[in-house]
């Protein structure tokens, strides 16, 4: 079965692997920004935070090019009559194929997540910062599995390759956009400690930027500094917070 899956999907698998390598190379080269030669001076241009979603492109590619054509193409080209007409039952054929492809997709996304996470972690102390959270291997695997499930569902329901690919693209992008814009801020704790465990950090889910190697992640935000509470202001500034007096025995 491994040979069948490889033979049938090798173009998609190889293309996605090339995409994964491209993402890794991109992150290594321009992980946070790039130098721009403007005549005699060299300027540093930080990347737009949207580029930090690059690792998630892998999950989208898996959804659209692996999962969406999986069943629809068999129906369209009528090859299901060959594949499912053998001794191996449809259920076993489908389960084995889905498991193998999903395992390969998750492996690829975890590899990209590990490398991307490592690159991002060098600059952002918090694993809950936008870039670090998105590049986390577990998050990448979850994105990929979600996309795979959506693609497979559309493939089985619509039974048309292009239609399933289009629907998968729209739904996965919409779901990802909704998650990034709306849901992500709600599921991440509003206040947590930094990766170093020393400096208290507020609003970790801010869009941290790194300029000339200096990360702004973990720094108190302007909104936090506007706080009227002196206690909160001191906590936001990273200063010592006085403990409440203990009741005397």
Partner 1 sequence: MTTIAEKGFIQRVDGLGKRYGDTWALRECTFALKPGQVTALVGANGAGKSTLLTILAGLLPPDAGKVDTAGRVAFVAQDKPLYKNFTAAEMFRLARNLNAVWEQDRAERWLRTFGVRADRPCGRLSGGQQAHVALAMAVAARPDLLLLDEPLSNLDPLVRREVTAELLADSAESGMAIMLSTHVITEVSGVAENLILLAGGKLLLSGETDDLLAKHVFHVGPGSEVLVGDNRPPPDGWITRPATLEDIVLSNLASARDGGAA
Q: Which residues bind partner 1 (CB under 8 A)?
A: 1, 3-4, 7-8, 77-88, 93
Which C-beta is closer to partner 1: that of 1 or that of 231?
A: 1
Residue 211, beta-bridge partner list:
214
Find the shortest distance in angstroms from Cβ 7 to partner 1.
6
Which C-beta is closer to partner 1: that of 77 or that of 225?
A: 77
- Three-state secondary-structure class, residue 225: helix
Find the shortest distance in angstroms from Cβ 95 to partner 1.
14
CB-based burial label for 151 (10 Å; 0-12, 13-18, 19+) = buried
Find the shortest distance in angstroms from Cβ 135 to partner 1.
35
Which C-beta is closer to partner 1: that of 45 or that of 162?
A: 162
Find the shortest distance in angstroms from Cβ 81 to partner 1.
4
Helices (H), the chain: 2-30, 56-61, 69-76, 80-83, 90-121, 130-135, 137-158, 161-178, 184-187, 222-225, 230-237
Find the shortest distance in angstroms from Cβ 94 to partner 1.
13
Which C-beta is closer to partner 1: that of 96 or that of 203?
A: 96
Gap between the Cα atoms of 138 and 142, Å rounded: 6
Cα atoms found within 13 Å of the Cα of residue 218, Cβ hemisphere only: 19
Contact criterion met (CB below 8 Å) for 205 and 128: yes
User: What element of type H or E holds 202?
Assistant: strand 200-202
Which C-beta is closer to partner 1: that of 76 or that of 121?
A: 76
């Amino acid at each position: 079965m491994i040979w069948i899956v490889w033979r049938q999907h090798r173009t998609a698998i190889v293309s996605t692997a090339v995409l994964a390598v491209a993402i890794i190379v991109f992150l290594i080269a321009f992980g946070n920004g790039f130098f721009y030669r403007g005549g005699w001076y060299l300027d540093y241009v930080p990347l737009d935070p949207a580029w930090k979603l690059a690792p998630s492109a892998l999950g989208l590619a898996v959804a659209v090019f692996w999962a969406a054509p999986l069943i629809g193409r068999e129906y369209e080209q009528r090859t299901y009559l060959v594949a499912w007409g053998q001794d191996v039952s449809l259920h076993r054929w489908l389960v084995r194929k889905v498991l193998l492809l999903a395992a390969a997709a998750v492996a690829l996304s975890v590899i990209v997540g590990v490398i991307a996470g490592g690159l991002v972690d060098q600059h952002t102390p918090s694993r809950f910062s936008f870039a670090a959270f998105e590049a986390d291997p577990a998050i990448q695997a979850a994105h990929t599995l979600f996309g795979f499930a959506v693609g497979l569902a559309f493939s089985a329901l619509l039974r048309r390759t292009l239609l399933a690919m289009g629907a998968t693209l729209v739904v996965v992008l919409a779901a990802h956009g909704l998650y990034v814009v709306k849901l992500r801020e709600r599921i991440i704790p509003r206040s947590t400690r930094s990766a170093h465990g020393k400096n208290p950090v507020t609003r970790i889910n801010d869009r941290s930027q790194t300029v000339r190697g200096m990360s702004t992640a973990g720094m108190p935000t302007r909104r936090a500094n506007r706080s009227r509470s002196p206690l909160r202001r001191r906590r936001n500034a990273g200063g010592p917070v006085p403990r409440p007096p203990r009741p005397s025995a």
